[in-house]
Structure 1
Amino acid sequence: MGVAAIQTAGEATGNLELIEQEVRSAARRFPWLSMIALGELAIHGASPEKAERAGGATEQRLQSLAAETSLWIIPGSLYEDRDGQVFNTTPIIDPTGQIIARYDKMFPFLPYEKGVASGNSYVVFDVPGAGKVAVAICYDIWFPELVRTLAAMGAEVIIVPTMTNTIDRDVELAIARANAAISQCFVVDLNVAGQQGNGRSVIYGPGGDLIYEAGAGREIMALELDLEQVRSARSRGWNGLGQVMKSFRDMPGRFPLHESVDARSEAMRDWGALEMPTRSIVPESAKLSQPSKTPRLTTTNNKGSV
């Protein structure tokens, strides 16, 4: 399956025309492509205030772009307003321009991604003649239960649109690699650059092997993913080693923590609320501005001054 992962270096918002140009350029340069993917919120940026209705103007332009180029398009994500709730959503658009599914981010980056609702449905879809592809969004991959579920549903490639501009990008690379190895699939973790993120998109193979890591700026990563590698890894083990997914399938033990929301909540109830961290050190200027709680001691010296 020919995939181009485009790491855009856009403005903070307003990048739809840029992305249309990038998609058209990649389609012309690499005629063997079947899919193009972009980073999280690359088009309109990270403000839920820019949420559109599902099927709105942006999605319509992306649908026209997919039909024009005859490509699958995974356009990063958009904030969408549905029934009064805002979701961080990836529409999956097929080469005829039809939206075949919408994936809502299950784990908004709380407490920072405030006001964004959690999705509750997994999305795994067939690319005819190639195999099964799934979508997760950014913070989702920090939760191995989600990725394992996608793999158990047959996903051979997991596309992860991401928007990261913080110091934990290096940690995310380790997480993406671990997810590829433990779920024996390709993981395309696609970050944004420019004013939106710090880049370093990565593509890992089904053994956790690094295929490519981008730099900090604009890049178009066009490559062919051989999905037979996934099938071999799951059947025989990567390089004849662990058959991880089959071991997970056949292990008779249970995981009580995952059996209900109540069980999970009870196990972790003492950890406190999920809320924004506060300043832990009071600045000296703030201390000086506060009234003193101790009486002032006055003395006199030999010159009579106080």
Structure 2
Amino acid sequence: MTPFAIAGVQMYLGMNNNIEHLRQRLDVLMHIYPWVQMVVFSELAAHGPAPHSAQPTGGEYEQDFCDMARKHKIWLIPGSLFERRNGAIYNMSPVINPEGEVIARYRKMFPFAPYEPATTPGDEVVVFDVPNVGRFGMAICYDIWFPELLRQMTSMGAEVIINPVLAHFLDRPADLAVAQAAGAMFQSYVFHINGLGVGGNGQSLIVDPAGRIIHQALTAEVFLPVEIDLDVVRRQRERGLMGLGQPIKSFRDNTHHFSVYDRKGFDRSYLDSLGPLERPGRAGEETSLPGVEAAE
């Protein structure tokens, strides 16, 4: 076995500085479950979906999270926060080790366009290693809808997908189905952790590498501490999902060139015919409503 204990935190969040609330919840979690080794908060937990809260890289919020990780000697994925960098705003998730050091920063590659107009897409796939345990990959909320990202991080060796979420729309059932399918398609554990209030409508989900639900939360505040076994991922990938499909190896061994990934040579006429990526107006009207920041 290669056991590792991860806890998701589903909690109410406001459109304000939530740091002390997060700190208190983390203190309670670690008092009840001192065996937890990594904690994951939901997307934009630091200040809600408020782009005006953006801080420079390494700013006050990030330092507060580093202090929390150091205090409890845990790996901490504090959801995400708005980062101001090179004149742009990113939805960024720091990865903090038990010494309180930021070892990676993942910037959301697929903002929920056109509802996140202030957010600039990131351009780097992020995986990181927990020594003597395994490799983890980062995907913020809507990112998980794009298998290209998950396939690349899986091809880089990721065995666990950490997915902080801020989701509260009518498409939530589809969102949950995508997260569950990701576990099976990429034979990975998936931690899909949502918030409450302005942070989402809950229903956080933890999935195993056969696509089975380990736990799904309801719509109240809850801790989700789970001990996973990375050897289960390795055996599933070697022998197949439940001894059957081996999708990662099948993709590796397929010799077809998928022309849709050829940005220069692919015929985009159908995709271009779908029109611009913008918020829809009322039926029969051509009005495009101004964008509003609402993370998904």
TM over 0.5: yes
Which of 92, 113, 118 does residue 95 from structure 2 map onto? 92
Matched, 1:139 2:142: yes
Which of 274, 277, 282 does residue 274 from structure 1 map onto? 277
Residue 179 (structure 2) aligns with: 176
Residue 289 (structure 2) aligns with: none
Which of 182, 202, 219 does residue 205 from structure 2 map onto? 202
Distance 1:264 1:95, change over 3 A: farther
Aligned partners of 1:20, 1:130: CA distance in 2, in Å? 26
Residue 70 (structure 2) aligns with: 67
Aligned partners of 2:241, 2:274: CA distance in 1, in Å? 38
Contact 1:131 1:156 in 2 (8 A): yes
Residue 250 (structure 1) aligns with: 253
Larger RCO (CA within 8 A; separation ≥ 6) = 2
Residue 8 (structure 1) aligns with: 11
Contact 2:108 2:139 in 1 (8 A): yes
Matched, 1:58 2:83: no
Contact 1:8 1:42 in 2 (8 A): no
AA at the equivalent of 1:126: D
Superposed CA RMSD = 1.4
The unaligned stretches of length 5 or more in structure 1 are 283-306
Contact 2:9 2:224 in 1 (8 A): yes
Residue 116 (structure 1) aligns with: 119
AA at the equivalent of 1:15: N
* Structure 1 residue 265, shift from structure 2 partner: 4.8
Aligned partners of 1:13, 1:199: CA distance in 2, in Å? 19
AA at the equivalent of 1:279: R
TM-score after normalising by structure 1: 0.89
Distance 1:104 1:261, change over 3 A: farther
Aligned partners of 1:120, 1:262: CA distance in 2, in Å? 22
Secondary structure (helix, strand or coil) at the match of 1:245 reads helix
* Structure 1 residue 28, shift from structure 2 partner: 2.1
Aligned partners of 2:267, 2:60: CA distance in 1, in Å? 40
AA at the equivalent of 1:246: K
Aligned partners of 1:131, 1:76: CA distance in 2, in Å? 20
Contact 1:178 1:208 in 2 (8 A): yes
Report the identity percentage: 41
Secondary structure (helix, strand or coil) at the match of 1:6 reads strand
Residue 108 (structure 2) aligns with: 105
Residue 294 (structure 1) aligns with: none
Secondary structure (helix, strand or coil) at the match of 2:229 reads coil
Residue 222 (structure 1) aligns with: 225
TM-score after normalising by structure 2: 0.92
The unaligned stretches of length 5 or more in structure 2 are 286-296
Residue 45 (structure 2) aligns with: 42
Contact 2:137 2:158 in 1 (8 A): yes
Contact 2:48 2:198 in 1 (8 A): no
Contact 1:41 1:79 in 2 (8 A): yes
Aligned residues: 282
* Structure 1 residue 93, shift from structure 2 partner: 0.5
Aligned partners of 2:16, 2:172: CA distance in 1, in Å? 21
AA at the equivalent of 1:189: H
Secondary structure (helix, strand or coil) at the match of 1:274 reads coil
Aligned partners of 1:222, 1:264: CA distance in 2, in Å? 47
